[in-house]
Structure 1
Amino acid sequence: MLTRALIVVLAILNLGVACWWLLRDAPQKPAPPPQAPGVAELRWVPGGVDAAAAAEATAAAPTAPLMEREPAGKTAVAATPAPVAPAKPETAPVATTAKPVTPPAPTPTPAPEKPATPPAAAEPPRCVALGPFADRAAAAGAQGKAGNLISQVRLREQPAASGSARYRVLLPAAANREEAQATVKRIVAAGLSDYYIISQGEDANAVALGQYRNREGAERRMAAVQAAGFQPRLVASGDAGQWWLEGQLAAGTQPAQAQQRSGAAQSRSLECARLR
């Protein structure tokens, strides 16, 4: 009995559920969210739908004016929206200290070039005569003291004012007259002339080879006799003359400087042409 009662109850319940299922209303689909203005609506096109029907369905959409239409003959493909990166949390701006801007240094204006100074004209050479000196040796010593303050040096003897100075070129005295005559024969054989044998005095038996009023002539005679193989000597007689040191001053040297250095008593201007 109890079993039959349970079966009857279950049948009644199944029948009631079936009636409720048949009589219920269809479920309402949720309305799509409103489309943002200016955004094209994406629609999925099934694979078997004709492209023309898809174009008509797209044209009926309310956002059609904002959509880019595909040309006929192409199947519309739904665009997949790009994933939106999550927004980073806003960070507080870091305060930066602005560096002071250094203004550019002003460009110096080049100074105007000065006109080139013409080179100074070369100073003409100056020549002097330093003296007087008692003899040739003293003049030669003064030349050594002057050093490089004077160049192109020559030693010159100035005859005495009376004109009584004489210079003789002599060969050494022989032991007797016969030896002196033998010396004369050798002088003649060498091609020399103007000779005589001194017969008396301290130079007896010496052979004189000339007497001259200036030293330059006597020295030229001595050079010729020496070239012939003899050894003469120079003998001065009468009033001796004075010796002078002549030469060209170094650049920037004053005559007084050369005079003081050489120890000369006087300094005279001299034409440089006389030194040539």
Structure 2
Amino acid sequence: MLTRALIVFLVLLNVSVALWWMLRGEPVVADVEPPAGVAQLQLLDDTETRQPQQGSVAAPPLQDTTVESPSASSPTQTPLPPSATPSAPETPPTVEPASGTLAATPAAAVTPAAASPATPQRCIALGPFPDRTGAQAAQGKTGNALTQARLQEQAVPGSTTRFRVMLPPAASREAAQATVQRIVAAGLSDYYIIAQGPDANAIALGQYRNREGAERRLAAVQAAGFQARLSGGEGSATWWLQGALAEGQTPAGVRQRSGAAQQRSLDCAGLR
């Protein structure tokens, strides 16, 4: 029973809605008058928007001159006059440099020059000189052309070089023996009295094959208070001037300055 009443209600509701739809009138649209001085927006027909035929003059496009009506929430907007319309920014003129003025250019990257390899050191020996005095004179002539200079004595091939450290001959044998006692008291050894010859009663304090050893012995004897001297070696050895060439010097040029007759290449390690 309840179901039937619900069905009847729904049928009546649908019939009422259909009758209302059929009997309703067309909606009335109220004409709204635009404000005075405001142009109306008109829709153009599709045929009017097409591109004009060849030979006809196209109408200029309409400009939107619609101005929003003033309201309380937004400020009044008015179109700007043509003279006030902002124009595109002008391109600044190109200023060319005056004649004779160099234009500034970025500095080119400076590439460090490759370091040139150091010139290897060259060492030479100049000589031969007959004695130490001649070698010293040659060293003075070379000046700064030869660095790390030193004098070197070399034995003559085939000869036997002997250097002796001696005290001068005493007046008698007894005087020589008295000097020997003083030598022993000073702590020196290796001595003997020469018995005959031009050096009779002289006291020999050592015999050496190289000058360096003889000079060390001579210095020790003189430090003990004795007037010793060095003898021997004449004619059996020569002297050489050794050193490293200064920058810019040549072996031939340095030899010519020193007055030496010969020059020899030398290992620089021997000068250190």
Same-fold call, TM > 0.5? yes
1:131 aligned partner: 127
2:191 aligned partner: 195
Amino acid at match of 1:210: G
From 170, 176, 180, the equivalent of 2:172 is 176
Cα separation, 2, equivalents of 1:220 and 1:258: 32
The 5-angstrom pairing of residues 173-252 of structure 1 reads: 173-237=169-233, 239-252=235-248
Cα separation, 2, equivalents of 1:239 and 1:245: 18
Contact 2:125/2:266 (CA < 8 Å) preserved in 1? yes
Per-residue CA distance 1:224-255 (angstroms, 9 max, x = gap): 11221212111115742111011122122111
Cα separation, 1, equivalents of 2:221 and 2:236: 24
Cα separation, 2, equivalents of 1:143 and 1:255: 14
Helix, strand or coil at the partner of 1:264: coil
Cα separation, 1, equivalents of 2:162 and 2:139: 25
* Matching of residue 272 in structure 1 with residue 264 in structure 2: no
Q: How far 1:141 moved relative to its partner? A: 0.6
The 5-angstrom pairing of residues 95-174 of structure 1 reads: 104-105=97-98, 107=103, 109=105, 112-113=108-109, 115-174=111-170
Consecutive unaligned residues of structure 1, counting only runs of 5 or more, are: 1-101
Consecutive unaligned residues of structure 2, counting only runs of 5 or more, are: 1-94
Per-residue CA distance 1:88-126 (angstroms, 9 max, x = gap): xxxxxxxxxxxxxx9632625457455321222222322
Per-residue CA distance 1:156-200 (angstroms, 9 max, x = gap): 111121132211111111111111111111111111111101111
Amino acid at match of 2:226: F
State the Cα RMSD in Å.
1.9
Per-residue CA distance 1:8-50 (angstroms, 9 max, x = gap): xxxxxxxxxxxxxxxxxxxxxxxxxxxxxxxxxxxxxxxxxxx
Q: Report sequence identity in percent.
A: 62
Cα separation, 2, equivalents of 1:254 and 1:237: 33
Cα separation, 2, equivalents of 1:104 and 1:117: 34
Q: How far 1:220 moved relative to its partner? A: 1.4
Contact 1:128/1:247 (CA < 8 Å) preserved in 2? yes
Cα separation, 2, equivalents of 1:131 and 1:112: 56
Cα separation, 2, equivalents of 1:146 and 1:237: 27
Contact 2:148/2:244 (CA < 8 Å) preserved in 1? yes
Cα separation, 2, equivalents of 1:152 and 1:225: 30
Aligned length: 175
Cα separation, 2, equivalents of 1:231 and 1:111: 77
Cα separation, 2, equivalents of 1:171 and 1:109: 86
Cα separation, 2, equivalents of 1:183 and 1:213: 26
Which moved further from structure 2: 133-142 or 228-237? 228-237
Cα separation, 2, equivalents of 1:119 and 1:249: 22
The 5-angstrom pairing of residues 48-63 of structure 1 reads: none
Contact 1:127/1:246 (CA < 8 Å) preserved in 2? yes
Cα separation, 2, equivalents of 1:189 and 1:167: 25
Amino acid at match of 1:188: V
Cα separation, 1, equivalents of 2:216 and 2:174: 29
Cα separation, 2, equivalents of 1:104 and 1:249: 57
Contact 2:164/2:204 (CA < 8 Å) preserved in 1? yes
Amino acid at match of 1:184: V
Helix, strand or coil at the partner of 1:104: coil
The 5-angstrom pairing of residues 56-95 of structure 1 reads: none
Contact 1:173/1:206 (CA < 8 Å) preserved in 2? yes
Contact 2:159/2:236 (CA < 8 Å) preserved in 1? no
